[in-house]
Amino acid sequence: MSDQTLFSIFFSAMVVNNFTLALFLGLCPFMGVSARVETALRMGLANIFVLVLTSLSAWVLNTYILTNAPYLRIISFIIVVASLVQIVEMVVKKIAPVLFRQLGIFLPLMTTNCAIFGLAIFQTNRGYDFIQGIVFAVGAGLGLTLALVLMASIRETSELSDIPAIAKGTGLTLIIAGSLSLAFMGFAGLL
Amino acid sequence: MRSTTPSQDLIRGIWKENPVLIQMLGLCPALAVTNTVKNALAMSAATFFVLTCSSILISSVKSLIPKEVRISSYILVIATFVTLADMLLQAYAPVQHKELGAFIALIVVNCMILGRQEAFSSRNTVYRSLLDAIGTGIGFTIALLMLGGFREILGIGTFFDIPLFGPDFEPWVVMVLPAGGFLTLGFIVLAMGYHEERKKARAVREGASA
């Protein structure tokens, strides 16, 4: 059981310990989908949805199923995450085929998105209860979305500027991420 | 799939197709735990173990795995070895285990390991998969040690806990913080890009003069 207040959990997950910029979780979509603001936003929203579902299932697993077998945690979490992503994929395909096409390969890739799996592990290690877990998941998801959108808007702007040839691509993205991360460190004093 | 020799399997992953520096795979662990050389070493050892064991197991049972469920089967194999690595570290290196924390469990979602299984172990012999895993593992270790070395020397002023600069050194604290990870990797990638550009320019010059 954790005695943090809900607000501090939410705020910490969203900005102070931002999943992408402070904990390096979910870097693949951060590098891959952050070229356009609109796609970044959609990806972020899909992430929030999966994160909340993961948090729910991790809580159920921890409370009812894994109480006697904590050593099976890693294996069962990964199975749950994989099947969840599969279900979400099918649901999105059925009810929103346009969105499904736009997200493309990054929807199935969420299985190996460290942010999703990391959320389940962190939630367990910190002993969050049901409500705390949901708040944590929403905060983390909003934080991911924030980082993705910020990154995408900076990259959209920098596309028009004159960049030296060697810095095009990953190098520049990493330096921008470093600067963003520095900026987010400013929030550390708030909690 | 007999286009490469065994020695090429081994050395390819070390530099030319370095998983972290060239392919940008497995970035989460590469950046999150490399604030000191010791942590970088523990992380690479754990990843090396998981990668080698999964490659051996998967390449030896590859004909038994149905194609439709191969990804899930790989993930299960990897998760099993990660659980093992987690327990081994907890038993023999409790300090490092505490420092790395949740990031040991996160080896499961290291895209580099799954990538090697899908791209190599699933269609090559055990021997060649082993070589490939060792090569990729060494490449990963080199990248992590580079990152960890830079960040520890600049951010704390030590290397492997040995002080380097005497008492007047003002540590560059930002390097051990998350931002330092992004910046260090960014500068390494830039330096490698610069090197490539120069090599290309030299080749062009030589071609023109000849």
DSSP state, residue B106: G
When the pLDDT of each residue in chain A is averaged and rounded to a whole number, the result is 84
Mutate to test the interface with A, among B28, B47, B77, B144 (most CBs of A within 10 A): B28
Across the strands, what pairs with B158?
Answer: B163
Residue B189 lies in a domain: no
Burial group, residue A21, by CB count within 10 angstroms (0-12, 13-18, 19+) = buried
Q: Could you write out the three-class secondary structure of chain A?
A: CCCCCHHHHHHHHHHHCCCCCCCCCCHHHHHHCCCCHHHHHHHHHHHHHHHHHHHHHHHHHHHHHHHHCHHHHHHHHHHHHHHHHHHHHHHHHHHCHHHHHHHHHHCHHHHHCHHHHHHHHHHHHHCCCHHHHHHHHHHHHHHHHHHHHHHHHHHHHHCCCCCCHHHCCHHHHHHHHHHHHHHHHHHHHHC
pLDDT at B55: 94
pLDDT at B1: 45
Contact B72 A28 (CB under 8 A): no
Report yes or no: A188 at the B interface, CB cutoff 8 Å. no
Question: Closest by alpha carbon to A114, among A77, A153, A60?
Answer: A77
Question: What would the pLDDT profile of A2-59 be if each residue is shown by its tens digit?
Answer: 667 888 888 888 888 888 888 888 887 777 777 788 888 888 888 888 899 999 999 9
Residue B36 lies in a domain: yes
Burial group, residue B142, by CB count within 10 angstroms (0-12, 13-18, 19+) = middle
pLDDT in single tens digits along all 210 residues of chain B:
456 788 888 888 887 888 888 877 878 778 888 888 988 999 999 999 999 999 999 999 988 888 878 888 888 899 999 999 999 999 998 988 888 888 888 888 888 888 888 888 888 899 999 999 999 999 999 999 999 999 998 888 888 888 887 777 788 888 888 888 899 999 998 888 888 888 888 888 888 776
Contact B186 A175 (CB under 8 A): yes
How many residues comprise chain B?
210
pLDDT at A191 over 70: no
Residues 6+ apart with CB under 8 A from A2: A9, A126, A127, A128, A129, A132
pLDDT at A160: 83
SS3 B204: helix
Q: Name every chain A residue with its beta carbon within 8 A of the beta carbon of B105.
A: 73-74, 117, 121
Q: Name every chain A residue with its beta carbon within 8 A of the beta carbon of B180.
A: 178
Across the strands, what pairs with B162?
Answer: B159
B113 → chain A, closest CA residue: A112
Checking ipTM against 0.90, whether it exceeds it is: no
Residue B84 lies in a domain: yes
pLDDT at B87: 92
Range of the domain at B46: 6-148
pLDDT at B138: 93
Of B108, B181, B190, the CB nearest to A166: B190
Q: Name every chain A residue with its beta carbon within 8 A of the beta carbon of B106.
A: 25, 114, 117-118, 121
Give the other-Cβ count within 10 Å of B149's Cβ.
17
DSSP state, residue B158: E
Question: Closest by alpha carbon to B73, among B65, B82, B81?
Answer: B65
Contact A112 B114 (CB under 8 A): yes
Question: What would the pLDDT profile of B84-116 be if each residue is shown by its tens digit?
Answer: 999 999 999 898 888 888 888 888 888 888 888
Interface of A with B in 23-52 (CB under 8 A): 23-28, 31
CA distance A12 to A8: 6
Question: What would the pLDDT profile of A74-116 be if each residue is shown by its tens digit?
Answer: 889 888 888 888 888 888 888 888 877 777 766 777 766 788 8
Q: Name every chain A residue with its beta carbon within 8 A of the beta carbon of B179.
A: 178-179, 181-182, 185
Of B27, B80, B182, the CB nearest to A181: B182
pLDDT at A186: 83
Interface of A with B in 135-164 (CB under 8 A): none
Report yes or no: A175 at the B interface, CB cutoff 8 Å. yes
Residue B10 lies in a domain: yes
B188 → chain A, closest CA residue: A171
pLDDT at A1: 47
pLDDT at A149: 92
Report yes or no: A128 at the B interface, CB cutoff 8 Å. no
Residues B185, B149 contacting (CB under 8 angstroms)? no
Q: Bigger pLDDT: A67 or B80?
A: B80
Q: How many domains are there within chain B?
A: 1
Of A75, A111, A167, the CB nearest to B80: A75
